[in-house]
Amino acid sequence: MRLELGKIHIKDIQFAAESKIEANVLYVNKEELVKAVFEDDAIESVDLDIARPGESVRITPVKDVIEPRVKVEGRGGIFPGILSKVDTVGEGRTIALKGMAVVTTGKIVGFQEGIIDMTGLGAEYTPFSKTNNLIVIAEPKEGVKQHEHEKAVRYIGFKAARYIAELARSLEPEEVEVFETKPLLEQIAEYPDLPKVGYVYMLQTQGLLHDTYVYGVDAKQIVPTILYPTEIMDGAIVSGNCVSACDKNPTYVHLNNGVIEDLYKKHGKEINFLGVIITNENVYLMDKERSSNWTAKLCRYLNLDAVIVSQEGFGNPDTDLIMNCKKIEAEKVKTVIVTDEYAGRDGASQSLADADVAADAVVTGGNANEVVVLPKLDRVIGHIDVVNVIAGGNQDSLREDGTIEVEIQAITGATNETGFGYLSTKTF
């Protein structure tokens, strides 16, 4: 598949009488956008706000972060099986609005939601302090069940991103980047002397409120399969989970997966990038064994020389990660795993809940138990009291002076396990 990804850089967001993109500024008619997304019986109210880089603004609890994209040529539309028909995507031309994001917030759904600070120490840990953020504040009706609440907010975020992206449909992108993966035998034959490399993309599927969707299907229901990398850039995978904010893959990260983009940069030069194997992270041992067996089988079937494996979450998924690693290595395929660490506040504890000697090449996104004190900011979008109950916080996190003491696992994207962040660790 060959995908042209056109980019339009958004330098500011403003509310206005007319929704449009002009001179790299996104203008939003607030009432019109609210009307376009507010059609769910589970939601009491929807409001919008704006948070720009450097402003003294804190957003919490953060549910999802989404980059607006619109498909202008080729089959299907963005978020197939969610907002668009279930056409196979990943080819043609897609326009992405860079430098901005749609961020959803409102009353907390589950305790594993996050914080985005637009300035101060917290901003140094989240990549979303650098984006111009359109905040969608969706408040649920009293008595709505958690899974209904999560779904309603998830869809509202996608609809808002679609509304914004449609404003770019007829615009000419400022730059176009081309990504191409050919049918397997053709791809192998094109670079016969380069090592064949794949990417094993582990998706969070640990249970209710821990869901990821592939073409609209809950990934708990899949067995490992192969995707063209460009399908993921068109929204074939979206987030629907409430795992710890630091290593959650928001929908924005799926669309902009750094492992995929970096493998493409080396494709045809240092490696032959053959594609992505998606797999899930299960709760029961039988399911873990099935998925890791299939993942290793697919690596062998593709006759890969090496793979990168990334996980989402920690603890229970560490077992899936290590199972994948050791079984793929047993197929004589070199493996690098990408994870983060929960090594205790002093960094002295075992980093992962599972381990194996086969896992001898590891990239880390940092220690999620690191403690920081976030300064008081002038404005909060959402509900500040949740910092005492979200993962990484405690009953004393919110201090009387307005500062917040939390582990960085409370900060959205702080230790992201696709490398979509700023932290890592090196051994010397």
pLDDT tens for each residue of 244-292: 999 999 999 999 999 999 999 999 999 999 999 999 999 999 999 999 9
**Cβ atoms of 152 and 138 closer than 8 Å:** yes
Distinct helix (H) and strand (E) counts, the chain:
8, 25
Locus of tokens 């992505």: 276
Q: What is the pLDDT of residue 334?
A: 98
Q: Report which of 132, 176, 163, 174 is spatially closest to residue 20, judged by C-alpha positions.
A: 163
Question: What is the overall mean pLDDT for the chain?
Answer: 95
Tens of pLDDT, residue by residue over 41-58, are 899 999 999 999 999 999
Per the residue annotation, which of 242, 246, 299, 325 is the catalytic one?
A: 242
* pTM of the complete model: 0.96
Average pLDDT over residues 127-132: 98
Q: What is the pLDDT of residue 169?
A: 97
404 token code pair: 């917040």
Average pLDDT over residues 219-233: 97
Determine the Cα–Cα distance for residues 368 and 344; give it in Å rounded to an integer: 8
Using the predicted structure, report yes or no on whether residue 425 has a pLDDT greater than 80: no
Using the predicted structure, report yes or no on whether residue 348 has a pLDDT greater than 90: no
Q: What is the pLDDT of residue 428?
A: 63
Determine the Cα–Cα distance for residues 321 and 274; give it in Å rounded to an integer: 21
Tens of pLDDT, residue by residue over 136-193, are 999 999 999 988 999 999 999 999 999 999 999 999 999 999 999 999 999 999 999 9
Question: Annotated catalytic, 246?
Answer: no
Using the predicted structure, report yes or no on whether residue 22 has a pLDDT greater than 70: yes
**Cβ atoms of 374 and 406 closer than 8 Å:** yes
Q: What is the pLDDT of residue 381?
A: 98
**Cβ atoms of 31 and 205 closer than 8 Å:** no
Tens of pLDDT, residue by residue over 381-422, are 999 999 999 999 999 999 999 999 999 999 999 999 999 989
DSSP character string of 198-252? EEEEEEE-SBTTEEEEETTEEGGG---EEE-HHHHHTTSEEEEE---TTT---HH
**pLDDT tier at 353 (50, 70, 90 boundaries)?**
confident
Percent of the chain having pLDDT more than 90?
90
Determine the Cα–Cα distance for residues 130 and 420; give it in Å rounded to an integer: 13
Task: State the Cα angle at 336 between 330 and 342, rounded to 5°.
Answer: 110
Question: Does residue 224 have a cis peptide bond before it, meaning omega lies within 30 degrees of 0?
Answer: no
Q: What is the pLDDT of residue 349?
A: 87
Q: What is the pLDDT of residue 268?
A: 97
Q: What is the pLDDT of residue 110?
A: 77
Determine the Cα–Cα distance for residues 36 and 19; give it in Å rounded to an integer: 12
Q: What is the pLDDT of residue 222?
A: 95
Length of the chain, please?
428
